[in-house]
Structure 1
Amino acid sequence: MAAKQLPATIRKLVATSASPKFREIVTIKTEPTPTPGDGEVLVKNRFVGVNASDINWTSGRYDPNAKFPLETGFEAVGEVVASGPNTSYKPGQAVMYMQFGAFSDYKLVKANIAVPLPDVKAEYLPFILSGNTAAISLDKVGDIKKGETVLITAAAGGTGQIAVQWAKLKGCHVIGTCSSEDKVKFLKSIGCDRPVNYKTENLREILKKEYPKGIDIVYETIGGEMFDICVESLATHGRLIIIGYIEGYESGKGVVPAKTLATLPARLLPKSASVRGFFLKDFSNDAGPYVAKQIQYYSEGKLQSAIDMGEKAPNGPFKGLEKITDAVEFLYSKKSIGKIIVDLNSKL
């Protein structure tokens, strides 16, 4: 079933060469509007999500054999405007999806990966990538249990906000790191028991003094010195989940200092502690059920979804495909709260 009055061409943001310097390598490319094939739908994107890993993708770290120009972006919320054979979706259906090349005004998507939504709403977008990363990793890798103490780094970000709330829903005591007093207030509003502004407080000393028995689970996204502090603070049987290492994304540096790597076995062994990696694509079978659970919790008022569309950003608000670069840079400024989202309807 094909929709009528589709544009003759579409626009998408592509990277022309491998580099973490996003602004320097991306450009808008125009090409003919594609027609959905068997099991495919054409989605008109309305909201796209910005992630720290966007520059890992364009730098070729996820796929060293990637061919350029390379489509960019991981996730979007939009509306089906045309559908191919053997799909249950009809034009007008709101959907969310996670697929490379989401930074485009229209996108061909396999129907079996599209998630139906009640309506086209930006607040759903944090759940599919950021939220699934938080919920699945804490459950499946962190083995989270009621009554445990959980430390979330970059807790006011797109995935951190869901991790905080997921741990609270599990009945845990939650500590969250952040970089401003506005973020401290935000973390308190979503239930974080002990927000720590590392710009004004010494996290290492706070953990030693206030949590002498150590931390049961660490949700770690920063790397560098933060990783070292987290390893030092693990409790007996503690688990540190590596979600990312954002400090090294732009610089290309390693996930942890060399001194930490050299002493890691000696620091973990006496505590029977562990460091565990998490990469969302390795848990694809869990993606659908966890998105559904988050949407359910959101509709029931048990889960908040904070989004940042650049209203307070120097180059905001983020409206239109041209503003994606500004949104990526805003993420790395560490001034955003919640999930950074770009509204592709620039006419509003």
Structure 2
Amino acid sequence: MERFLLLIYISRSFSLFVLSFVGINASDINYSAGRYDRSLKPPFDAGLEGIGEVVGLGLSASSHFAVGDTVAYFGSGAFAEYTVVPAKESVPVPAVKPEFLALLVSGATAYIAMKRLGDLAEGQTVLVTAAAGGTGQFAVQLAKQAGCRVIGTCSSDEKAGFLKSLGCDRPVNYAAEDLAKTLREECPQGVDVVYESVGGSVLELAVNSLATKGRLIVIGFISGYQTASGFPKFSGGTLPVKLLQKSASMRGFFLPHFLGDYREALSSMMQMFAKGKLVCEVDYGDSAQGGRFVGLESVFRAVDYMYAGKNLGKVVVEVAPPSVSNSKL
């Protein structure tokens, strides 16, 4: 602990957290592979979000927080039992609940992307790919709250049932039915908005399924992250023609570029969650090989579990057992 305590005394505006839970994101692969910031050279801290308890404060940080406060944060270095974070990047939360953790990246991505790029309107049709995952679950709910008809893709009947519980009008288990055929038959005029995170052939299908003036939001392309290049194959030679013919648009969304919207998004979603108007499903890995994700050594299992498409909701890892996370140093 000496290294962390030393940082507290020389960093006046920092807080020391003992982390209880950390979130697993598809982008963890890109970050650790150096694709997000090519200036990073190993070794560097990985992990993008955590939630826990304040156990130490810099001098100026004490004007905003107290030892024992429960906080969450979105930034690099979350895969740790203890971490030092600038007070301005720390978000007060009512309790150390992983449901709040699900809002930091996954929830905020869906909220801001749908609000800023989706231009949702009542009666429109929205397609959400990987809809039962960490961010897809929020995209489904936000689209329904906007009065849209929602189609969500998933990989099992269990996930389809979960999507129905969120209000999804048409869950599509692509392991059991042809997504392209379903869209052709049930959306002959196309879909107005696509919230897309898979890439490759799914992205191509999404482009082909756009309605006139449709909007396609690319928030990721997980199907290619584990390849050497990090990109899935995409035949985009006719993309300009397809977009022009439908007056459609295709835009990318990367959360760090929208930090000006972050506080409002997080505050709004926390209020919605507190009022029971937003479901934050988390997956502790109870059904994973090796059992629940506990301890830093289980982070790699959690990443593999997510990439295998087995998760339902946001994947979280319990870093420190309750007896440790509630301690005071």
Shorter-chain TM-score bucket reads over 0.9
Partner of 1:304: 279
Partner of 1:97: 73
Alignment match of 2:37 (pick from 39, 59, 63)? 63
**2:169 aligned with 1:196:** no
Higher RCO (Cα < 8 Å, 6 or more apart): 2
Distance 2:273 2:95 in 1: 14
- The alpha carbon displacement at 1:70 in A equals 1.4
Distance 1:285 1:85 in 2: 27
- The alpha carbon displacement at 1:35 in A equals 1.9
Partner-residue secondary structure (3-state), 1:43: strand
Partner-residue secondary structure (3-state), 1:55: helix
- The alpha carbon displacement at 1:342 in A equals 0.3
- The alpha carbon displacement at 1:146 in A equals 2.1
Distance 2:316 2:303 in 1: 10
**2:32 aligned with 1:50:** no
Partner-residue secondary structure (3-state), 2:237: helix
Unaligned segments of structure 2, at least 5 residues: 324-329
Distance 1:72 1:166 in 2: 30
TM-score by length of 2: 0.94
- The alpha carbon displacement at 1:346 in A equals 4.1
Q: Which has the higher helix share?
A: 2
Alignment match of 1:129 (pick from 105, 129, 133)? 105
| Runs of 4+ deviating beyond 6 Å | none
Identity percentage of aligned residues: 46
Aligned pairs, how many?
Answer: 320
Distance 1:254 1:166 in 2: 29
**2:192 aligned with 1:219:** no
Q: CA RMSD in A?
A: 1.5
Unaligned segments of structure 1, at least 5 residues: 1-6, 11-31
Distance 2:73 2:30 in 1: 20
**2:313 aligned with 1:335:** no
Distance 1:315 1:285 in 2: 40
Q: Deviations over 1:16-61 (max 9, x none)?
A: xxxxxxxxxxxxxxxx764251211111111100001101011110
Q: 1:33 to 1:336 in 2, by over 3 A?
A: farther
**2:14 aligned with 1:40:** yes
Distance 1:66 1:253 in 2: 17
Once the two structures are overlaid, the 10-residue window that deviates more, 111-120 or 217-226, is 111-120
- The alpha carbon displacement at 1:344 in A equals 1.0
Partner-residue secondary structure (3-state), 2:60: coil
Partner of 2:158: 182
Distance 2:290 2:309 in 1: 15
Distance 1:44 1:215 in 2: 45
- The alpha carbon displacement at 1:256 in A equals 5.5
